[in-house]
Amino acid sequence: MSTYGIKIVDVGGDALLLTPDMITIISAGRSAMPAGLNGDNTYGLNIDLPGTAAIAETSLGVIALSFIMNINLLLNVTTSIGVYSTSWCMNSSYTFYTRNEATGVLSTWTPGTGDATNYDACLAAYPIAFWDKRGAITFTSINIFAATCYEVYDQSASAYIKVYSIASQGVENVDYAIYLKKYPTV
């Protein structure tokens, strides 16, 4: 058994060492994310798989990590009876998108502007990268979605939503590895 490979550890401390006995890496590297949306309003880095035949999802694996993330927020400071309160709000100088999880289509979302009561509060901002399968079960290419994700309270909709910024306003690069599994899948 090999003593080298890619070690994957989850938050519970469980670990798996992916060795050459288990996988064959078919594509890996660091790549710049596209500067804009695709023609169908989806987004991501498209990486062709070897050969011409489609490969089943159960035979593939993808590891994707965001690299170089950008965030742009407003600091909203308010006062009431001499007490100052601060919050981070969405900045309209960036372009943000909502995402249809089933289709991968991105739609422009505009944060509230003007009066501070119209600002949309940012609860969290973090990089995200994943294999965007969009419901497919066989593949001739892999689409990797990487962006900065913002969890936001949208004042106009009175709802919590996720919005994304892309490319130089979001995640600029992604590190990835695409591999074929060598063991039987269930």
Contacts of 79 (CB under 8 A, 6+ apart): 85
Distance CA 184, CA 186 (A): 7
pLDDT for position 17:
84
Contacts of 114 (CB under 8 A, 6+ apart): none
Rounded alpha-carbon distances, angstroms, from residue 113 to 67, 70, 106, 120: 30, 21, 21, 8
Structural contact between residues 109 and 79, judged by C-beta atoms closer than 8 angstroms:
no
pLDDT for position 2:
53
Pairing label, strands 141-154, 138-139? unpaired
- In 33-167 the beta strands, taken as DSSP E runs, fall at 45-48, 55-56, 60-69, 73-80, 83-90, 96-99, 106-109, 121-131, 138-139, 141-154, 159-165
Distance CA 89, CA 75 (A): 6
pLDDT for position 78:
66
Tokens 């100052």 sit at which residue? 84
The string of pLDDT tens digits covering residues 63-79 is: 999 988 888 887 776 66
Of 59, 58, 6, whose CA–CA distance to 176 is shortest?
6
- Judged against a pLDDT cut of 60, whether residue 1 lies above it is answered with no
The string of pLDDT tens digits covering residues 87-123 is: 788 888 899 999 999 999 999 999 988 676 788 889 9
Least confident of 32-41, 66-75, 79-88, 143-152: 79-88
- Judged against a pLDDT cut of 90, whether residue 7 lies above it is answered with no
